[in-house]
Amino acid sequence: MLTGSESTGKSTLAARLAQRYDAPWTPEAARLYVESRDGAPLGYEHVERIARAHIAAVQDALRRAHGLLFLDTDLISTLVYSRHYYGTCPAWVEREARARLADLYLLHHPDVPWQPDPVRDRPSSRDEIHVLFRQALDHFGARYVDVLGDFGAREARAIEAVDALLSQR
């Protein structure tokens, strides 16, 4: 599971890892949802729709997976951003996030240059949001490794962590 604040290379790395390990991956449900709205603003009422879209995408990907699946964010991301933007999150999303914890989280640090795109909106909040992700992972007792540095270093660290996880199976 790749997680962390905006513009830290999660989507790129998720696709690369999926290719390397010949495994499926799911793109970020929130991004797909926002893109489908053609620029219409989001509100708190959209949090549950995003969470349900994520759950459906993961369920679909699990049917294609053979022991390994890479996720570009999960319900913890939905929870973190809902709290960041709206101050709260539906209780069922938090329960589902806990019930659906990944085996391993790759926590991307915001130490790479911001890459603007129409969906991203908080370049000055990446450090703050990174702290919120770390706190959420700690709160849930999730197993995670820090992924930082340039893209080559991020990819090497991710491969090392995934290989270590796979060697324990």
- Assign domain 2-167 to its CATH architecture: 3-Layer(aba) Sandwich (3.40)
Q: Torsion angle, CA of 79/101/112/88, rounded to 10 degrees?
A: 10
Alpha helices per DSSP H over the chain:
10-20, 29-36, 47-64, 75-86, 91-99, 126-140, 151-167
User: Model confidence over 13-33: pLDDT tens digits?
Assistant: 999 999 999 999 999 999 999
What is the model's pTM? 0.94
User: Model confidence over 61-110: pLDDT tens digits?
Assistant: 999 898 899 999 999 999 999 999 999 999 999 999 999 999 999 999 99
Write down the domain spans for the chain: 2-167
> By C-alpha distance, which of 111, 132, 18 is closest to 64?
18
For residue 118, pLDDT beyond 80: no
Polymer length in residues for the chain: 169
> By C-alpha distance, which of 77, 73, 72 is closest to 93?
77
Q: What is the pLDDT of residue 39?
A: 80
Q: What pLDDT band is residue 119 in, cutting at 50, 70 and 90?
A: confident
For residue 167, pLDDT beyond 90: yes
> By C-alpha distance, which of 88, 72, 71 is closest to 80?
88
Look up residue 78 and give its two tokens: 């939905």
H or E element: which one contains 71?
strand 70-71
User: Model confidence over 139-149: pLDDT tens digits?
Assistant: 999 999 999 99
